[in-house]
């Protein structure tokens, strides 16, 4: 029985990292796919935990080898999802979660139809700007660039199965947890248990 694959995308600053941290704390068995990227590590980021930081030639040789389930260029840097990590965990019945952009989400959905795609929206443009500035991680020109990118990214919301408007954080956390929990209620996820229950009734007539 394969696990479920979840894709989470959002314009930068919407609160996706915050939401994913809460989700991973609640669901200890959920596997977060650490992406490869050619961008430099930000202060506090660790290779192997936030990303696998690599250089462009190494990344492109991985592309040639078919190592990526999907990959894309975002804001001048390359980002990719390791195919083997995702497939191994899905095959062993684990749920896997990807934090990827709208281009990557489209590629994954075209390859794995049953993947569940979730888009996190900020409540407004002004609030997105406020959050990016309050986070104080980047200079003003980078924030301006992120806001420009956000304007085109949000139009992709139609590609997604669920939209979480991240207004009140607690509500968004509950909603994200509900989506993952309901994925586990699918009959195919509970086949052996269902068979045991049916057997306890004396089998199927």
The answer to whether the CB of 4 falls within 8 A of the CB of 114 is: yes
Can you read off the two tokens belonging to residue 88? 């191994």
Could you say whether residue 100 binds ligand 5GP (CB under 6 A)? yes
Could you say whether residue 189 binds ligand 5GP (CB under 6 A)? no
- Helices then strands, counting H and E runs in the chain, come out as 8, 9
Residues in Cβ contact with 163 at an 8 Å cutoff, skipping those fewer than 6 apart: 118, 119, 120, 121, 157
Number of residues located near ligand 5GP, criterion CB under 6 A: 15
Nearer to ligand ADP, 10 or 97 (CB): 10
Can you read off the two tokens belonging to residue 146? 């992120």
Strand duo 31-32 + 68-74: pairing: unpaired
Min dist CB 160 to ligand ADP, Å, is 15
Cα–Cα dist 117/102, whole Å:
10
Which residues inside 123-162 make contact with ligand 5GP, applying CB under 6 A?
none
Full DSSP string of 136-182: T-S-HHHHHHHHHHHHHHGGGGGG-SEEEE-SSHHHHHHHHHHHHHH
Which residues inside 49-88 make contact with ligand ADP, applying CB under 6 A?
none
Min dist CB 39 to ligand ADP, Å, is 14
Which residues inside 34-73 make contact with ligand 5GP, applying CB under 6 A?
35, 39, 70, 72
Which among 98, 119, 102, 103 is positioned nearest to 15, based on CA atoms? 119
Min dist CB 6 to ligand 5GP, Å, is 13
**Stretch 154-173: interaction string toward ligand ADP, x if CB under 6 A:** ------------x--x--x-
Cα–Cα dist 196/106, whole Å:
38
* Residue with the CB atom nearest ligand ADP in the bound state: 15
Taking CB under 6 A as the criterion, the residue among 5, 30, 101, 166 binding ligand 5GP is 101
Taking CB under 6 A as the criterion, the residue among 4, 9, 14, 35 binding ligand ADP is 14
Nearer to ligand ADP, 1 or 169 (CB): 169
Residues that bind ligand ADP (CB under 6 A): 10, 12-18, 131, 134-135, 166, 169, 172
Task: Note the residues at the interface with ligand 5GP (CB under 6 A).
Answer: 9, 12, 35, 39, 70, 72, 74, 79-81, 99-101, 103-104
């Amino acid at each position: 029985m394969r696990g479920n694959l979840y894709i989470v995308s959002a314009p930068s600053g919407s609160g996706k990292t915050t939401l994913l941290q809460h989700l991973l704390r609640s669901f200890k068995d959920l596997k977060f796919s650490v992406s490869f990227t050619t961008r430099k590590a930000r202060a506090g980021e660790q290779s192997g935990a936030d990303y696998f930081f690599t250089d462009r030639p190494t990344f492109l040789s991985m592309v040639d080898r078919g190592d990526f389930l999907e990959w894309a260029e975002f804001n001048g840097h390359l980002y990719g999802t390791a195919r083997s990590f995702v497939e191994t965990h899905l095959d062993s019945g684990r749920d896997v979660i990807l934090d990827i952009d709208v281009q990557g989400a489209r590629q994954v959905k075209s390859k794995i139809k049953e993947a569940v795609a979730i888009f996190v929206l900020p409540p407004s443009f002004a609030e997105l700007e406020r959050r990016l500035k309050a986070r104080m991680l980047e200079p003003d020109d980078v924030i301006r660039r992120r806001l420009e990118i956000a304007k085109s990214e949000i139009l992709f919301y139609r590609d997604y199965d669920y939209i979480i408007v991240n207004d009140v954080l607690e509500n968004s956390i509950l909603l994200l947890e509900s989506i993952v929990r309901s994925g586990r209620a699918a009959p195919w996820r509970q086949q052996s248990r269902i068979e045991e229950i049916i057997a306890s009734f004396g089998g199927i007539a």
